[in-house]
Structure 1
C-alpha cells in the first residue's frame, strides 16, 4: 500500500490550517472522560476485585484479586529471565539517570538575612507518597521506570510505588521489575489505565493511596488523572509522544528522517514533525522514510505511517529558519532535536520545548534511554509553562522565617501599616504596642 508522507508548506497556510498542525490527540478528552468515570467508580467501590476484573477485560490478563502486588519471587524470576547484557544496559542507564538527578537536588534548607535580625528562606522536604505510572499497552518501558522511580528515590520519597498493566501471562514485564529494583523500588502493582489511576487515588486492599501520580500514559490515563485531580496530584501532563526535528540547510535529510520516526513509532496517537527551511532536506527526508520502514516491524511502520501521513505529523517546510523556529515555539514540543552543523546558534531562540537535543549525534533515542536528563516531559503544549519531570516534582518547599526582636522593631511598622490599609484589625493589633504589653513591660 502506498503511503504519502505529509508535506505542509507553512507560509500559505490559513490561521485555521496552521492551528490544526498544532493539535494533539489528547486535545479533546471529552469522550474519554465520559468512559473513565464508571471505571473509576468501580475501583473506588470494588477495590482489588475491580482491578482484577479490568485486567481480564482490558489487558486480557488473568490477574486474581490476591495477586496484584509483585512478590520477591517475581523480582528474582525477572532477573533470571533477562539476559546479562540487558541487565548491564539497565544498570548503565540507571546510573546516568541517578547521577543527573542527584546533581539536580536543591539544598535541604537555606536562609537569607533580609535585614539585620530578619531571616527568610526555604526548607525542601519530599512528598510522602508518589505513584509512578509505567505504560505497557504498546510495548514495555523499563526506561519509564528509571525516569519516574529514580528521582523519587533520590528526592527521598519514603513510599514510592510503581503501577503498570500486566501482560497476557498475568505477569509484570521482566525488565520493568529489574529496573524497579535497580531504582530501589520493590512495591510494584499490576494495574494500569484509568483503573490504575483510580487505585492510587482511592487506595484498595492492596494498592496504597498516594498523594501524587507521575508518568506518561494514554488518553485514558490522562482523562482519569483529570477527573481525579481533586483526589490526587496528577503531575505534569504526560500524554502520547510528540517530537519536532528542527533542521537547517546544513542537516542531512536522511538522518532527519531516521530521527523523525523515533517518536512517530510510539503509537497512532503520537505527533511528529520535521520542520525545516531547506527544501532539499525536506525532499531527502521524505524520500528516505520508505527505505527505513523496510527495517521496522509491521506494527511500528503502521504506527509511524498513521502519524506522518495523518493529521498530526509529516514535514513542515518554512520560508526561513525564523519562521521554522516560530512554529516550534508555538507548538511547544515534548522532544525537540536541532539538526545543524552549528545547533548552538538556534538554542537561544527556543523558548518552548520539554527538552532540546542538539546536533546530529543526539537523537531523541539517546535522551529517552541513557543521557541522564528526565525523558518524562510535558506534552500537548504544556512545555510553554511546565518543565520536565525532576526531583522537584517529588519534593515541596516550606517557607521558613525567623525574626529577632531587633529585626521585629525594624519591619513591624511596615507590616502594621499594610494591615491597617487592608482593614485587618487583628493583623494590625499583633504588630502594635499591644504586643509589648502582652509580653509584659518592655516586651522580651
Structure 2
C-alpha cells in the first residue's frame, strides 16, 4: 500500500493550506517557453509544421498534408470498427446531452418595455466558427467530443471543427469519429497540442481559422491558449482533470475511495481529494484502495497512485463537515461529489464548484458520459467565476434597443441631463432640440 497523502486540515499553516489548492497548471512558465516556437512555426509554415509536429510529438509517422483532415471514408469506416454496444451508449449519452442543452438554449431575442414606448432586450446569434479541442494523450475521449459538439450544434454554429491528436497509425480514434457524426460535426483535423490551438487561431492551408476554441487539454494546450488569447477566444479555463469527493459518515469509505479514483486515473497531472470529517470513513477508504486498484489497468493505477501520493491529491480530514464545506469552496473544484444519504443538507453551504453531484447514486462517471449537463468544466479554481461549457459559449449576445416617438421625450431628457453632467457635447446635442428639428422635417 503506497503512502497516501493524508492531511489534517486543522494542523495546516496558511501556506500549507494554500499549497493544497494549487493546481498542476498553476505555473506554466516551462510550457510557455516550449510552446512559443511551436506557435510561430504553425503561423509561418502552416500545414508543413502540423505534419512535422504530428510525426515528432504524436509519433504519427504516416501523417501527411493530405491526411490532416478526416475523410468521409474514415468516418464511414469508424462505424464498422466500434462495437455496437459502444455506439448505442454514445447515442444514449448524446440524446441526454442534446435534451439538456436544448432546454438551456436562450431565446433568439427578447424585448421588454422598460418605459412606455421604450423597449430594451437581447438578441443571441451563433458565433461563426468554433474549434472543439478533444484530447487524446492519455486515452481516447469520445465523451469530450459529445460534450463539446452538442451545445455547438444546438447553438447552430455554422462552422464547427474538432481538433484531436492522431494516433501512431495517423488516424483518429474511431469512437471519436462515431460520436462526432452522431452529434452532427463532420470536420475533424488530426492535430493536437499547442499546434492545434495555433492552427485554429491562425488557420493553415487545410485548417480554417476559428474565432474561438473550447475543450479541455494538457498544460501545453493551456499555455498555447494563454499566449494566443489576443488572436482567438480561448474559452473557459479547462486544464487537467480535478475532483473533490465530499463524504460524511452516512456512506461507506469504500464508496468514497472508488469515486476518488475516477478523476485521479486521468493522468499524473490530475487533482483528486477526499474530504471528510470521519476518521472511520478514511480507514475504510484506505482499506478498499488495494482491491479497487486490482480491478484497474496498470496505466490507470500508476496515474492514480501518482496523484494520491503527490501534492495534488489524497485525503483531507476536517474537524467538521462545515469545515469540509469551507475547504471545498476555497478549492473551487471542477467536479464535486457530495457523498451522503442526505446530500441536500450540504448543498446550501457549497458556492464554489463547477459541477455538484448529489448522493451515492450520482458518481462523476454518470455525469461524464450520460446524464446531460456538460462535463467540460473550468479548472484551476476557474469555478470562482466560470460555469460549465454551455450553449451560451457558442453564441454572442447583442443588446437591442427600440424607442418609439411616444417614449423618446422622457428618455431624451434623462440622457441629456447626464450627458451635460459628464461634459459630452455631442451626446447632449443628439437628444436636444436639434434632433427635434430634424425629426419634424
TM over 0.5: yes
Instruction: Give me the CA root mean square deviation.
Output: 0.7
Instruction: State the partner residue of 1:180.
Output: 180
Q: Deviations over 1:344-392 (max 9, x none)?
A: 1111111000100000010000000000000000000010110000000
Q: Deviations over 1:205-241 (max 9, x none)?
A: 1110000000000000000000000000000000000
Unpaired segments of 5 or more residues in structure 2?
none
1:83-162 to structure 2, matched below 5 A, reads 83-162=83-162
Q: Deviations over 1:31-81 (max 9, x none)?
A: 101110000000001111100000000000021111100000000110011
1:272 match: secondary structure: strand
Instruction: State the partner residue of 1:384.
Output: 384
2:32 match: secondary structure: helix
1:337-352 to structure 2, matched below 5 A, reads 337-352=337-352
Instruction: State the partner residue of 2:70.
Output: 70
Instruction: State the partner residue of 2:245.
Output: 245
1:3-402 to structure 2, matched below 5 A, reads 3-62=2-61, 63-402=63-402
In structure 1, distance between residues paired with 2:235 and 2:287: 40
Q: Deviations over 1:286-316 (max 9, x none)?
A: 2211221111111101100010000000000
1:438 Cα offset (Å): 2.4
1:282 Cα offset (Å): 1.2
Q: Deviations over 1:418-439 (max 9, x none)?
A: 0001110000011111111223
In structure 1, distance between residues paired with 2:134 and 2:410: 53
1:405 match: secondary structure: coil
In structure 2, distance between residues paired with 1:430 and 1:378: 44
In structure 1, distance between residues paired with 2:282 and 2:338: 15
Instruction: Give the ranges of 4+ consecutive aligned residues of structure 1 lying more than 2 Å apart after TM superposition.
Output: none
TM-score of the aligned structures, taking structure 2 as reference length: 0.99
2:11 match: secondary structure: coil
In structure 2, distance between residues paired with 1:94 and 1:70: 21
In structure 2, distance between residues paired with 1:388 and 1:42: 32
In structure 1, distance between residues paired with 2:116 and 2:195: 55
Q: Deviations over 1:269-291 (max 9, x none)?
A: 00000000111111111221122
1:169 match: secondary structure: coil
1:388 match: secondary structure: coil
1:66 match: secondary structure: coil
1:251 Cα offset (Å): 1.7
In structure 2, distance between residues paired with 1:329 and 1:342: 19
TM-score of the aligned structures, taking structure 1 as reference length: 0.98
Instruction: State the partner residue of 2:428.
Output: 428
In structure 2, distance between residues paired with 1:74 and 1:12: 57
In structure 1, distance between residues paired with 2:95 and 2:436: 57
In structure 1, distance between residues paired with 2:82 and 2:301: 27
Unpaired segments of 5 or more residues in structure 1?
none
Q: Deviations over 1:66-99 (max 9, x none)?
A: 1100000000110011111111111111111111
1:122 match: secondary structure: strand
In structure 2, distance between residues paired with 1:354 and 1:283: 29
In structure 1, distance between residues paired with 2:86 and 2:406: 63
In structure 1, distance between residues paired with 2:169 and 2:111: 54
In structure 1, distance between residues paired with 2:425 and 2:410: 21
State the number of aligned residues: 440
Q: Deviations over 1:7-46 (max 9, x none)?
A: 1000011001111110110100111011100000000011
In structure 2, distance between residues paired with 1:305 and 1:420: 67
1:49 match: secondary structure: helix
2:326 match: secondary structure: helix
